[in-house]
Amino acid sequence: MINNQFILNKFGFLGEDFSKELNKHAVITDIKAKTEIIREGQKNKFVPFLIKGSIKVFTLNDGRELIYYYIRMNDSCLMTFSSIFTDCVSRVYAVAEEDSEVLLIPVSVVHEWLIKFPEINKLFYYEYDKRFSDIMNMVNDAVFHRLDKRVINYIKQQILITGNNPVKLTHREIASNLGTSREVVSRVLKKVENEGELIQTKEGIKIPVNENVRLG
């Protein structure tokens, strides 16, 4: 039986018949941190639901990443789901940020369920709303915020995702995720550290307690 508590929390409203179908067709797999799950141009065979861990969804432009959103525990990937209505070809990259456990449902089965269990559409509408908000926040951050604010927001986001403060992040990793250079990020981090907004230690980058209350 697939993770009963997860099924109850995520799909319980669809009833016992759906639970039986889910156990019949879905599979659970473990994915190691930093493992690529899918890449742009690759055929989507499954719709994923994250049981635990975190997954980064992004695109690449001249080797630089543009993050769309992070999939967190109990979430699904909107971009993957939306592709099944067209050619099932991925338009994004997805990489596990940490060791993750994922529920995979075959695309062909999802097509059948949309007809057989129409209430499942409520689940995807909810996922769409969350992911759309994430993308809007990303666009607003990129357009309206200075780089120092974007760096701080990115670090806070990683603390929320991992639950670690300090969080292990390299200057190069931050630069790649924000579409800038490592040298620029290093200068920005030094500036905001001097202003008391963060602390760089051997354990990672830490947001002070007075800032931490505003992480959410």
The residue among 103, 151, 131, 127 whose CA lies nearest residue 3 is 103
Predicted local distance difference test score (pLDDT) of residue 213: 41
Predicted local distance difference test score (pLDDT) of residue 212: 43
Domain coordinates in residue numbering, the chain:
5-117, 144-206
CB crowding 130-140: b at 16 or more within 10 Å, else e: ebeebbeebee
Fold of 144-206: Arc Repressor Mutant, subunit A (1.10.10)
Task: Provide the whole-model pTM.
Answer: 0.67
SS3 38: strand
| Residue 117 per-residue DSSP state | -
When comparing pLDDT for 181 and 116, which is higher? 116
CB crowding 9-38: b at 16 or more within 10 Å, else e: ebbeebeeebbebbeeebeeeebeeeeebb
CATH of 5-117, picked from 1.20.1250.20, 1.10.1240.10, 2.60.120.10, 1.10.10.60, is 2.60.120.10
Q: Which class for 53: exposed (0-12), middle (13-18), buried (19 or more C-beta within 10 A)?
A: buried
pLDDT single digits (tens) 53-64: 989 888 887 777
Helix 182-194 vs helix 171-178: angle between axes, to the nearest 10 degrees? Answer: 110
Average pLDDT over the chain, rounded to whole?
Answer: 84
pLDDT single digits (tens) 8-40: 888 888 888 888 899 899 999 999 999 999 999
pLDDT at 85 over 80: no
d(CA 105, CA 112): 11
- Of 61-75, 85-99, 166-180, the range with the lowest mean pLDDT is 61-75
